[in-house]
Structure 1
Amino acid sequence: MANFDFDQAEGLRRMLAGPRPRIVTFLCATPEDDKGAMLVNLGASLARAGNDVLIVDACARDYGVAQRLGLARGAGLLEVARQECGLNEVIHAAPQGFNVARMKRGAGADEARRLAKSFDVLVKQTGIVIVDGEFGAEDSFPVPIMDSAEIVVQVGTSAASITAAYSLIKRLSQTLGRRPFGILVTGATEAEAKVVYDNMCSAASRYLAVTLTSMGSVPADEYLQRAARLGRAVVDAFPLAGASVAFRRLAGRFALSGMPQLGGTTRFGS
């Protein structure tokens, strides 16, 4: 995993500010980058480290976490907003140690407001909320709080993925304004991840005036596929695999710190 540090001073400021809901939306640059598998393993790693984790599947088109885990049937947050069921009925325990809920977009302004209220109640009950999200043609998220919460873009090492990630960041910044975004490089060695991050960081700073923060990287590892076929997280099935080591390090840094707020710095560690 890439050894890129977060701004430690900002992390300290967050801890001193007291507890608050932690919401992180993950977006994927290309369909080839398997975001669902990555989130299952990240969620499992965070849960094994003692964190209370909820993954919200907000994918309308792509293959989301709920579908991957066979938890896509039944009601979701939209049905809670419509008062068709209770909040406890849409939260499902995954065998990997975290909880999963689904969220579809509301139809109309009133339904969208009620969905936002349901989501607000949900996140206050959870330590870390990870959103398996999309930023579609409408250039918006299902609930407004996701606009100001942390956003991480998963990118691979191919030219197509890097180009798509940059285009996505450009759309996000044009819609949400100047703010930092996280970058997670998957299927990459430390050296490859650093090259990808450096190039994207330079381009985003120069042409978009956008600050990027490295969330680290996860290497390509055959044990990821083996664990998926077993229906388990790689950290559980193959704890000594390179991907397991990477996910444990990612989960440790992810749980303790966050991305800099507007005006924060991004730096590399030794």
Structure 2
Amino acid sequence: MSDQASSLRLQRAQADYPPSFAFIGGEGSGVSTLVGELAASLALRGGRPLLIEHQPGHQQARRLGLPATGTFASLAISLGGINELMVANRYGLNLINLAASSEERTRLSPRLWRRLAHEFASVEADSSVLLIDCPNISDDPAPACIADNLVLVLSPDADSLTQGYASLKRLAADYARRRFNILVNRAQDFEEAQAVFNRLNSVAGDYLSVALRWVGFVPADSTVRKSQTLRRPTVEAFAECEAALAYSQLADMLPRWHAPDQSAPRNSYLEHLLMTTKSLADLTGS
């Protein structure tokens, strides 16, 4: 019976994958915290988010108070399965650790690739949305290249704007990404957040062929740091604080951000990731 159910899930996944949102941003912009809070908020509302961690160090597990799992890179040694990389909390937030360098992904055998992609497709089919905590695109561009939607996270810090613009430029020039959702984090108020967006929009409009869409902001709130000390999501531990309310509002709106660069059906996320990693390695000769 379980084999039959798995087969049915895979058939559904082949026809209809949930939308994926890749979150990118400069160092210090709070990307990992933000994507984890959005995933927790969606889960608390009865959604079925799959939070995908590409960052090293089990950052998401620590922030969310979850036990560390294996990483995607470790499967090359253990020859285990996707279940070794997954953990869930008590209200349905599913976290999967896909941390691995592009070189580590390319070293996996084709047989192992196929098995892992098949297993992941079943997990993906049971999810409503994929939230991707991306690695630095200079080190590993593949996750940001293949996501349906890109969310660039900025903060009022000047370095954040510089790094954000560099990310836009590279993704547009090298990987033909044209649509970006812009979210400002840790702003003092709406006016400051809008000013940050307007500065980026002005520069990008002059030099890049991209479409930027403002999707909202999260106010600076010391409660977020307190919740991290407790290893609990802010939206769970301090649901009435300003940041938690903003996370919840953004999570409610997130499905409306779905506007992929390409309308053609795509493969399962992991299958697409593995194929893209191999293609990029072939192009660069690495």
* TM-score, length of structure 1 as denominator length: 0.77
Hey, what's the Cα distance between the residues in 1 that align with 2:88 and 2:171? 32
Match of 2:10 in 1: none
| Partner amino acid, structure 2, of 1:102 | N
Unaligned runs of 5+ in 2: 1-14, 263-286
| Partner amino acid, structure 2, of 1:213 | R
2:178–2:209 CA contact under 8 A, matched in 1? no
Per-residue CA deviation, residues 168-211 of structure 1 (Å, 9 max, x unaligned), is: 11111112114201111101121111111122122222210100
Instruction: Kindly state the Cα deviation for residue 74 of structure 1 after the two structures are TM-superposed.
Output: 3.9
User: Of 36, 46, 49, which aligns to 2:32?
Assistant: 36
Match of 2:130 in 1: 129
Per-residue CA deviation, residues 113-147 of structure 1 (Å, 9 max, x unaligned), is: 546565444422311111111243355215xx952
| Partner amino acid, structure 2, of 1:154 | V
SS at match of 1:232: coil
* TM-score, length of structure 2 as denominator length: 0.73
Match of 2:217 in 1: 217
SS at match of 2:210: coil
Instruction: Kindly state the Cα deviation for residue 258 of structure 1 after the two structures are TM-superposed.
Output: 1.9
Match of 1:76 in 2: 71
Unaligned runs of 5+ in 1: 1-17, 264-270
Hey, what's the Cα distance between the residues in 1 that align with 2:194 and 2:55? 29
Hey, what's the Cα distance between the residues in 2 that align with 1:68 and 1:88? 21
- The structure whose residues are more often helix, as a share, is 2
Match of 2:276 in 1: none
Instruction: Kindly state the Cα deviation for residue 37 of structure 1 after the two structures are TM-superposed.
Output: 1.9
Hey, what's the Cα distance between the residues in 2 that align with 1:71 and 1:236? 14
Hey, what's the Cα distance between the residues in 2 that align with 1:58 and 1:128? 16
Per-residue CA deviation, residues 146-185 of structure 1 (Å, 9 max, x unaligned), is: 5252111111001111111001111111121142011111
* Range 237-246 or range 90-99, more displaced: 90-99
Hey, what's the Cα distance between the residues in 2 that align with 1:89 and 1:120? 15
Number of paired residues?
Answer: 242
1:45–1:235 CA contact under 8 A, matched in 2? yes
User: Of 59, 66, 69, which aligns to 2:61?
Assistant: 66
Match of 2:80 in 1: 85
Hey, what's the Cα distance between the residues in 2 that align with 1:47 and 1:207? 39
Change (3 A) 1:175 1:109: farther
Change (3 A) 1:161 1:214: same
Match of 1:252 in 2: 252
Change (3 A) 1:159 1:148: same
Hey, what's the Cα distance between the residues in 1 that align with 2:20 and 2:248? 19
| Partner amino acid, structure 2, of 1:217 | F
Q: Does 1:94 align with 2:93?
A: no
Q: Does 1:141 align with 2:142?
A: yes
* Range 100-109 or range 78-87, more displaced: 78-87
Match of 1:176 in 2: 175
Change (3 A) 1:102 1:72: farther
* Range 118-127 or range 217-226, more displaced: 118-127
Match of 2:201 in 1: 201
Larger Rg: 2
2:26–2:154 CA contact under 8 A, matched in 1? yes
Q: Does 1:23 align with 2:24?
A: no
1:139–1:171 CA contact under 8 A, matched in 2? no
SS at match of 2:20: strand
Change (3 A) 1:231 1:252: same
Match of 2:7 in 1: none
Hey, what's the Cα distance between the residues in 1 that align with 2:185 and 2:227? 17
Identity across matched positions, percent: 27
| Partner amino acid, structure 2, of 1:84 | L
Hey, what's the Cα distance between the residues in 2 that align with 1:63 and 1:154? 20
Q: Does 1:163 align with 2:162?
A: yes
Hey, what's the Cα distance between the residues in 2 that align with 1:35 and 1:251? 15
